[in-house]
Amino acid sequence: MRAPATGPHDFVIRSRAYEGLNTRVRRVLHDAAAGQPVKVGIIGGSVTFGQGVPRRNETWPEVFGAWWRERFPASALTLVNGAVPATGSGYWSMCFREHIDEDVDLVLTELAINDQRRDADAEWFEWLVRQLLELPKSPAVVHLQVFALSADFAALSVGGDLHMGVANYYDTPVISLRNALLPRIFATADSVNEYFSIDRFGKLDMKHINARGHKILADLLASHLERQLWISHPRVAEHDTIPPLRMFQQYGSPLPPRLQPYCASTRSQRTPLIPTVNDGRWKTWSHTAPGGSTKTYIVAKEPGAKVGFSVPIRDEGGLGRVRIQGLRSATFGLGIAKCWVDDDEYKAVRIDGYWTTKLNVASTWVVATNVAAGEHMLWCELTTHSNDPQHRTEFRIVAVDAA
């Protein structure tokens, strides 16, 4: 049985997966309406980067920026699109400062399909949201969720569905393109071609929405913001508080720290990832994907290759945790590295770049916990082991972080 198609009103209402109080959103909108300058930071993956959309001005960030400038002509808009393809909340939770400025007034996130449906990804998403809300100007945060229909995804349900609990807890609005469009696609299967892009081989790419999908997403965001302008003036400050505890804590736990994370990334110009020690067998290498996005890695292929990165734990009251982000893929011939901190090689964590999932994304591994404040060395060595069917041993590092 076909699902019934939805009308325009239903379409918009369904997109508002979580509306919330919008205290911060209304404050930013009223500042813009009063002619004050506004800075918007955007974080996301390949969709937000623009893969699948040939013309940059047709991506949702650019369409949204054009709407904002027309809607608030007296307000100078600074819009920074910091999207990094093939990254999820594990990366962004500690590295977002590498891609957007700290003095933002509004942050828009797009991370639903790059996160797995796992508690770990949901917890990292929470750390991201919490830190964004704690930024100096107490920015508003709005989440935009796109969707994918590719067979590479195991289900329609993705990490973004676990984001919903976090968004509810922190009262950050969610705009869902899946909620809006999927009933239409179910009603008319051929309509999928109207919303997804065509790849360089002329095939339908059901991982990346096309220009029409971007325009719809930007319009749904604009509709949500127009509604907040229409409803009322900003609420009083008492409604603009951050919960004292994280969702992933027990009631009565000590208050979580305000993190001062360190991140060095191959995708960052602010703090690029550069080895402190390299035996010469790890190389910086870049790959340009069919959609035009360039991904840079620190790569080794020869077992025994060893590399070290200096990582500071900046605050004694922090997490005392060191992590690494590396690529996972079923097709790129990735093997297993072992990583450890300082002289604790006996505590090395084995990191497998191969998985059977058909997606190629950066994943995050915790290498060490209970690490004291100060300078440390994160070491990685490529092993002879591999779960790749052809026993290939390449390993690709994206970033390291410590908090």
CB 18 within 8 Å of CB 224: no
Six-digit token string for 241: 């508080």
Q: Give per-residue pLDDT as tens, 10-20.
A: 899 999 999 99
Mean pLDDT across the stretch 317-339?
Answer: 97
197 and 129 fall within a common domain: yes
User: pLDDT of 136-159, one tens digit each?
Assistant: 999 999 999 999 999 999 999 999
Least trusted range by pLDDT, from 4-8, 30-34, 198-202, 372-376: 4-8
The verdict on 180 and 325 lying in the same domain is: no
Domain region containing 370 = 262-402
- Other C-beta atoms lying within 10 Å of the C-beta of residue 96: 23
Residue-wise pLDDT tens digits, 90-108: 999 999 999 999 999 999 9
Q: What is the mean pLDDT of residues 297-302?
A: 98
The confidence score (pLDDT) of residue 4 equals: 45
What does each C-alpha distance from 383 to 94, 158, 208, 222 come to in angstroms? 27, 32, 35, 50
Both tokens of 3, joined, read 């699902």
Residue at which a domain ends, from 206, 230, 254:
230
State the sign of the Cα–Cα–Cα–Cα dihedral 273, 122, 158, 3: negative
Q: Which of 230, 247, 270 is the last residue of a domain?
A: 230
115-132 tens-digit pLDDT: 999 999 999 999 999 999
Q: Answer yes or no: is pLDDT of 307 > 60.
A: yes
Answer yes or no: is 246 within a domain: no
- Whether residues 272 and 225 share a domain: the answer is no
Parallel/antiparallel/unpaired status of strands 106-110 and 38-44: parallel
Residues 180 and 296 in one domain: no
**What pLDDT was estimated at residue 337?**
98
| pLDDT band, very low/low/confident/very high, at 235 (cuts 50, 70, 90) | low
Task: Please give the residue that has the higher pLDDT: either 1 or 116.
Answer: 116
Of 184-193, 219-228, 331-340, the least confident: 184-193
Q: Does 215 lie in the same domain as 94? A: yes
Domain containing 291 — which CATH number?
2.60.120.260
Do residue 104 and residue 38 come from a single domain? yes
236 pLDDT above the threshold of 70: no
| pLDDT (0 to 100) of residue 3 | 43
Instruction: Looking at the structure, tell me whether residues 109 and 28 fall in a common domain.
Output: yes
Task: Report yes or no on 387 lying in a domain.
Answer: yes
Q: Give the confidence band of 317 by pLDDT, cuts at 50, 70, 90.
A: confident
* 101 and 204 together in one domain: yes
160: CATH: 3.40.50.1110
pLDDT of residue 233: 65
Do 274 and 174 fall within a single domain? Answer: no
Q: pLDDT digits over 279-294, tens only?
A: 999 999 998 876 667 8
In a domain, 135, yes or no: yes
In a domain, 236, yes or no: no
Question: Per-residue pLDDT tens for 354-385?
Answer: 999 999 999 999 999 999 999 999 999 999 99
pLDDT in tens, 158-209: 999 999 999 999 999 999 999 999 999 999 989 999 999 999 889 999 999 9
User: Which one of 180, 206, 230 terminates a domain?
Assistant: 230
- Number of domains forming the structure of the chain: 2
Closest CA to 282 of 307, 257, 264: 307
